A and B are shown apart, each in its own frame.
Chain A
């Protein structure tokens, strides 16, 4: 098996069949990737909390991943491998379209008649590049997650080497385009899977909801084997056009051997509404940047985060709520439960630019520690340059309350049941804001599995 760097030769090989502009875009990103040093965990403020405090092993491991990952696995002819039903479980009647991707290769798409009738485009990104080049040229890593994204977001005061890596070597992912005024009543489902060891998943999510459209996307990222090592460098770009209504749910259940890097950025136009749910259960090391940009007046963004980490998982999330226009609203609620020796760092910032008077922005991060050795850092922040602004922020981290445990146990439930009740109750404020019962149920199941 040929092992390869993420090298220029490799890049030229994978981009050979792509339009010239995409080749150039990849090359530009590549040059950038090459020029940037590996993040320095003591000098670079943004990466300071990304490492396990006890070992510097992460970056050595990450470098090794970047070198060792198998080039042959990268450029595929799509195998016939049917996706087993146990990996992909959905109700046909409650799904407008399905896309299944395994190890970077699209295995299955099904557009319902409804999607075709409505003119909704939903396909893997390589197909989209052939069929919808203009959409990609306009939106793909151009306005949301870009090589300069880092500079725009005040809290990410540097370029991101992994965004550059993603821009150069992206593979897989999908484009969803909902035309003006179209409402898709039932959710679309995307299943992104890693199955083999030494895989790198560089999926790219691109959702474009045009003016007045409405859509719900449920995306599930999962390792199908518990111990296959892997690497994920992802990007999510969401465009909610004027008066559009977008719900995007991403559930991340990579196994505990996956190094996970991603940048997520949503652009919310005038009077648009975005409900954005992020549930994180997997990954050995997670470094996620998630930003919402309220660029049009009257835009409304709900950011809901739910995370449960255990063993030696490390979760590092930076969020940004960027208010560019007046009369915009954002509300972020992130709740994390940590077990065993898990660690998390959450840094959130609200930016209210001078142009964004009459803004409401709320931010809350709460952490529940189930063991003595779990550790959570939480750093909320505000930067307000406008007037007539209503902002609140808050953060908590606390151990499971012995009085609550005693109260529940005194009524007959076991310690494990009491712990589960308290954890479920802790997540409930996030759950009750998730508009879909099927999603709530899936998340509850994942939470229960973590407690077993």
Chain B
């Protein structure tokens, strides 16, 4: 049965400033949603709040996934539940190779039972390597990625591809892509977009948080939502992106009485 991430009347503040102000949204496994909004509308706050960043304080509301109260969980427990956040600005971890880290993460997310008889509770090295190589080939990621230090000295495009590679390995049920297209040139957007579209299937629900519709040319959402001033003010289908493209956010702001 497909699980649903349900966000109800969510309020999040950062350092005492309310940013998300009563947000409602549902994303089911197998569905693709786009959440579009201008700068300052609360897109990244929502993303980090959903993943449990300690500086993003949830004041009220609920987030339920698979019948579990997500807000009670530590970030790593949210990942084990099947949530994934692709960061807008992935953090560099010098000295930690992508492969070493990913083996630990994949093992943690899949749980001990999935990892066979290994004493350290980690997925067997050979199995992990084979899987990693397959996924890297599938996504057209260079072999050297595995040995490089996590996000350390990566170009903008490499950062995003490393995020998508992790998404592919962790096989979440719901993936939140936080401005995955930002800072990329057209070619890089295409590569990232095609990578993500390869991963899409009935088991993966995607929430694409974005400022521009360019990534949506490659991953076409069934549902489009407009985020303004911390709330979803409009929901619809593909046609909403066309309206935005033609008119921008101003008519929608006006309609809902929201100042810029």
Residue ranges of A at the interface with B (Cβ–Cβ < 8 Å): 401-404, 406-415, 417, 421-422, 424-429
Q: A402-B54, A410-B85 are in contact. List 20 more A-B contacts (CB 8 A).
A: A404-B93, A406-B75, A407-B87, A408-B105, A409-B79, A410-B51, A410-B79, A410-B84, A410-B87, A412-B170, A413-B105, A421-B100, A424-B95, A425-B93, A425-B94, A425-B149, A426-B94, A427-B95, A428-B94, A428-B96
A64 CA / B95 CA spacing, docked (Å): 44
**Chief secondary structure at chain A's binding surface:** helix
Q: Point out the residues of chain B lying under 8 angstroms from A417, CB to CB.
A: 104, 108
B53 contacts A406, CB within 8 Å?
A: yes
Given contacts A413-B104, A413-B108, A414-B76, contact A408 B93 (CB under 8 A): yes
A409, B52: Cα distance in complex, Å: 10
Q: Are B93 and A422 in contact (CB under 8 A)?
A: yes
Contact with A along B198-235 (1 / 0, CB 8 A): 00000000000000000000000000000000000000
B74 & A409 in contact (Cβ 8 Å cutoff) = yes
- Closest Cβ of chain A to B72, distance in Å, is 15
Q: Is the CB of B93 within 8 A of A429?
A: no
Closest chain A CB from B91 CB (angstroms): 4
A217 shortest CB reach to chain B, Å = 27
Instruction: Assess the B79–A411 pair: CB atoms within 8 A.
Output: yes
Complex: A428 Cα to B106 Cα, angstroms: 22
Q: What CA separation (Å) do A417 and B104 show in the bound complex?
A: 8
- B174 touches A (CB below 8 Å): no
On chain B, which size bracket covers the interface?
A: 20 to 34
The answer to whether A422 touches B90 (Cβ under 8 A) is no
Flag if B87 contacts A429 (CB, 8 Å): no
Return the contact of B166 from the options A401, A404, A411, A415 (Cβ within 8 A): A411
Q: Which residues of A contact B76 (CB under 8 A)?
A: 409-415
CB neighbours of A412 from chain B (8 A): 76, 79-80, 105-106, 108-109, 170
Q: Are B75 and A409 in contact (CB under 8 A)?
A: yes
A425 CA to B152 CA, complexed, in Å: 11
The CA-CA distance from A422 to B150 in the complex, in Å, is 11
Separation of A410 and B101 alpha carbons in the complex (Å): 12
On whether the beta carbons of A406 and B54 are closer than 8 Å, the reply is yes
Q: List 7 A-B contacts (CB under 8 A).
A: A402-B54, A409-B76, A410-B87, A411-B76, A411-B102, A421-B101, A427-B95
B95 to chain A: which residues have CB within 8 Å? 424-429
What A residues does B79 contact at CB under 8 A? 409-412
Inter-chain contacts of B74 with A (CB < 8 A): 409, 415
Contact of B90 among A407, A415, A424 (CB under 8 A): A407
- A411/B90 in contact, CB under 8 A: no
CB distance from A366 to the nearest CB of B (A): 11
Tell yes or no: B78 within 8 A of A by CB. yes
User: Which residues 57-83 in B have Cβ within 8 Å of A in the complex?
Assistant: 74-76, 78-80
A428 to B94, CA, bound (A): 8
Smallest CB–CB gap between B249 and chain A, Å?
A: 29
How distant is the Cα of A429 from the Cα of B94 in the complex, in angstroms? 9
Q: Could you say which residues of chain A place their CB within 8 Å of the CB of B91?
A: 401, 403-404, 406-407
Are A410 and B108 in touch, CB under 8 angstroms? no
Query: What separation, in Å, do the CA atoms of A404 and B87 have in the docked complex?
Result: 12
Q: How far is the CA of A425 from the CA of B104 in the complex (A)?
A: 14
Most buried by B among A404, A410, A422: A410
Q: B96–A411 contact, CB under 8 A?
A: no
Say how far A444's CB is from chain B's closest CB, in angstroms: 12
CA distance A422 to B85 in the complex (A): 20
CB distance from B131 to the nearest CB of A (A): 16
Contact of A424 with B96 in the complex, beta carbons under 8 Å: yes
Q: What's the Cα separation between A413 and B102 when bound, in Å?
A: 9
Cβ of A240 to closest chain B Cβ, rounded Å: 29
A443–chain B nearest beta-carbon distance, Å: 14
Q: Report A290 CB to chain B, min CB distance, Å.
A: 24
Contacts of B87 in A (CB 8 A): 407, 410
CB-contact partner of A407 in B93, B104, B109, under 8 A: B93
CA distance A93 to B100 in the complex (A): 30
Contacts of B94 in A (CB 8 A): 425-426, 428-429
Query: What residues of A have a CB within 8 angstroms of the CB of B55 in the complex?
Result: 402
